[in-house]
């Protein structure tokens, strides 16, 4: 598989990532992050860094929930609850990243190999699912800023 055949809406997006190189992941038009079962960042794509406005130190090896705009209990709680049910396959509407705290985000979270979780971030989705019934705003007290990373 090559990055050319990968689409944000494909059913087994995490499985597709397992077959791509880091360079191929960096060419995708949406953000890609992989974390281990403890939340340590394994992959943080170039696209995610650019689109999110993340300017912190290299995130690989750091706790994703401490360095991201998704560190609050609500977002993490969605993921942990799904993980306890077994295989994770979530779609979450959210607002805000480092570049724009009001930006609409569509986030897919899927289980990968070896307890890895893949997070895929689409910004300013056309159908704006972040405003739908499951949409969430950045949590009170959790503001994204350039100094978060």
Handedness of CA 89, 43, 49, 8 (dihedral sign): negative
The answer to whether residue 145 is domain-embedded is no
In a domain, 102, yes or no: yes
Quick check: is 14 in a domain? yes
Q: Is residue 124 part of a domain?
A: yes
CA–CA distances in Å: residue 76 to residues 26, 45, 108: 25, 20, 13
Task: Give the CATH number for residue 127.
Answer: 3.30.450.20
How do 89-95 and 41-44 pair as beta strands? unpaired
pLDDT at 142: 40
Domain annotation covers residue 149:
no
> Whole-number mean pLDDT of the chain?
82
Please report whether residue 123 resides in a domain.
yes
The secondary element (H helix, E strand) that includes residue 94 is strand 89-95
pLDDT digits (tens, 9 = 90+) for 88-131: 999 988 888 888 888 888 999 999 999 899 999 999 776 544 44
* Mean predicted confidence (pLDDT) in 126-148: 43
Confidence band of 16 (pLDDT split at 50, 70, 90):
very high
Establish if 29 belongs to a structural domain.
yes
Distance CA(59)–CA(77), nearest Å, equals 21
Query: Does the structure show a pLDDT above 70 at 14?
Result: yes
Of 143, 68, 148, nearest to 109 by C-alpha is: 68
Please work out, in degrees rounded to the nearest 5, the angle formed at the alpha carbon of residue 50 by the alpha carbons of 118 and 121.
30
Report the pLDDT value the prediction gives residue 2, as an integer from 0 to 100. Answer: 67
Is residue 133's pLDDT more than 90? Answer: no
Q: Find the domain containing 104 and state its range.
A: 3-131
pLDDT in the model for residue 140 = 38
Tell me the C-alpha distance between 8 and 113, whole Å: 19
Q: Return d(Cα 91, Cα 130) in angstroms, integer.
A: 10
Give the total number of structural domains in the chain.
1
Q: Is residue 136 part of a domain?
A: no
């Amino acid at each position: 598989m090559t990055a050319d055949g990968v689409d944000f809406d494909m059913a087994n997006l995490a499985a597709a990532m397992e077959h791509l190189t880091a360079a191929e992941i960096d060419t995708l038009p949406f953000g890609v992050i992989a974390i281990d079962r403890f939340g340590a960042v394994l992959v943080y794509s170039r696209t995610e860094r650019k689109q999110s406005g993340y300017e912190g130190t290299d995130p690989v090896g750091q706790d994703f929930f401490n360095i991201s705009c998704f560190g609050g209990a609500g977002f993490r709680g969605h993921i942990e609850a799904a993980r306890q049910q077994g295989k994770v396959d979530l779609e979450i509407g959210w607002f805000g990243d480092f570049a724009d705290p009001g930006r609409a985000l569509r986030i897919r979270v899927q289980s990968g190999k070896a307890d890895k979780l893949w997070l895929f971030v689409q910004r300013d989705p056309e159908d704006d699912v972040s405003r739908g019934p499951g949409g969430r705003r950045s949590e009170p007290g959790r503001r994204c800023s350039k100094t978060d990373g």
